[in-house]
Amino acid sequence: MCTRAVPCMFAGTCMTVCDFAAEANVAEGNGDAGGEGDVAKLLERQTLEDKEREDGEEGKPSSSAGPVSCLQHDETWSCLRISHLTTNESNAKGQTDPPSIPICELYPSGDFPKGEECEYPPSKDGRSAAWRTTSEEKRALDGANEEMWNDFRQAAEAHRQVRAYVRSWIKPGMTMIDICEKLEDCSRRLIKENGLKAGLAFPTGCSINHCAAHYTPNAGDPTVLRYDDVCKIDFGTHINGRIIDCAFTVTFNPKFDGLLEAVRDATNTGIKFAGIDVRLCDVGETIQEVMESYEVEIDGKTYQVKPIRNLNGHSIGQYRIHSGKTVPIVKGGEATRMEEGDVYAIETFGSTGRGAVHDDMECSHYMKNFNVGHVPIRLPRAKHLLNVINENFGTLAFCRRWLDRLGESKYLMALKNLCDLGIIDPYPPLCDIKGSYTAQYEHTILLRPTYKEVVSRGEDY
Backbone angles phi, psi at 59, to 5 degrees: -95, 5
Cβ neighbours around 331 below 10 Å, total: 16
- The arithmetic mean of pLDDT across residues 243-250, rounded, is 98
- pLDDT value of residue 207: 98
The SS3 of residue 211 is: strand
pLDDT tens-place string over residues 305-350: 999 999 999 999 999 999 999 999 999 988 999 999 999 999 999 9
Rounded to the nearest 10 degrees, the angle between the axes of helix 257-273 and helix 280-291 is 160
Confidence bin at 3 (pLDDT 50/70/90): confident
- Work out the percent of the chain whose per-residue pLDDT is above 70: 81
Taking phi over 0 as left and psi of -120 to 50 as alpha, with beta for the rest, 315 belongs to: beta
pLDDT for residue 32 is more than 90 = no
Q: Which CATH superfamily is domain 150-355+435-460 in?
A: Creatinase/methionine aminopeptidase superfamily (3.90.230.10)
- pLDDT value of residue 70: 44
- pLDDT value of residue 1: 81
CB 363 within 8 A of CB 317: no
Cβ contacts of 307 within 8 Å, gap of 6 or more = 266, 287, 288, 291, 292, 329, 330, 348, 349, 350, 351, 355
pLDDT for residue 35 is more than 50 = no
In which element (H, E) is residue 356 found?
none
| Alpha-carbon span 438 to 308, nearest angstrom | 9
Is 245 a known ligand-binding residue? yes
Confidence bin at 239 (pLDDT 50/70/90): very high
- pLDDT value of residue 124: 82
**Greatest CA separation found in the chain?**
85
pLDDT for residue 15 is more than 60 = no
Is 125 a known ligand-binding residue? no
Is 365 a known ligand-binding residue? no
pLDDT for residue 52 is more than 50 = yes
Angle at the Cα of 445 from the Cα atoms of 2 and 179, rounded to 5 degrees: 50
Mean residue pLDDT of the chain comes to: 86
Is 443 a known ligand-binding residue? no
Confidence bin at 19 (pLDDT 50/70/90): very low
- pLDDT value of residue 39: 41
- Work out the percent of the chain whose per-residue pLDDT is above 90: 78
Confidence bin at 45 (pLDDT 50/70/90): low
pLDDT tens-place string over residues 106-123: 999 999 999 999 999 998
What letter represents residue 349's amino acid?
Answer: F
- The arithmetic mean of pLDDT across residues 410-435, rounded, is 98
What is the b/e burial string over 69-98, where b = at least 16 CB atoms within 10 angstroms of the residue's CB? bbbbeeeebbbbbbebeebebeebeebeee
Cβ contacts of 312 within 8 Å, gap of 6 or more = 2, 3, 4, 5, 11, 284, 326, 327, 328, 329, 333, 347
Which one is predicted more confidently, 43 or 355?
Answer: 355
Task: Write the DSSP assignment of 89-102 as a string of letters.
Answer: GGGPPPPPSS--S-
- Pinpoint the alpha helices (H) of 170-294: 176-191, 257-273, 280-291
Which residues are the active-site residues?
Answer: 234, 245, 314, 322, 347, 442
Which one is predicted more confidently, 410 or 16?
Answer: 410
- pLDDT value of residue 82: 35
Angle at the Cα of 376 from the Cα atoms of 375 and 378, rounded to 5 degrees: 140
CB 345 within 8 A of CB 444: yes
CB 305 within 8 A of CB 328: no
Is 159 a known ligand-binding residue? no
Beta strands in 328-380 (DSSP E): 343-351, 358-359, 365-368
- pLDDT value of residue 2: 75
CA 197 to chain centre: 20
Task: Write the DSSP assignment of 325-341 as a string of letters.
Answer: -EE-SSSS---PBP-TT
Is 358 a known ligand-binding residue? no
Angstrom distances, CA of residue 292 to CA of 261, 295, 308, 439: 12, 8, 11, 14
Question: For the chain, what are the domain ranges?
Answer: 150-355+435-460, 363-427
| Alpha-carbon span 49 to 45, nearest angstrom | 6
Is 297 a known ligand-binding residue? no
Beta strands in 129-230 (DSSP E): 198-208, 211-213
pLDDT for residue 28 is more than 90 = no
Confidence bin at 90 (pLDDT 50/70/90): very low
Question: Per the omega criterion (within 30 degrees of 0), is the bond before 172 cis?
Answer: no
Pick the CATH number of 363-427 from 1.10.443.10, 3.40.50.970, 1.10.10.10, 3.30.450.20: 1.10.10.10
Least confident window among 78-87, 345-354, 366-375, 406-415: 78-87
CA 175 to chain centre: 24
- The arithmetic mean of pLDDT across residues 260-276, rounded, is 98
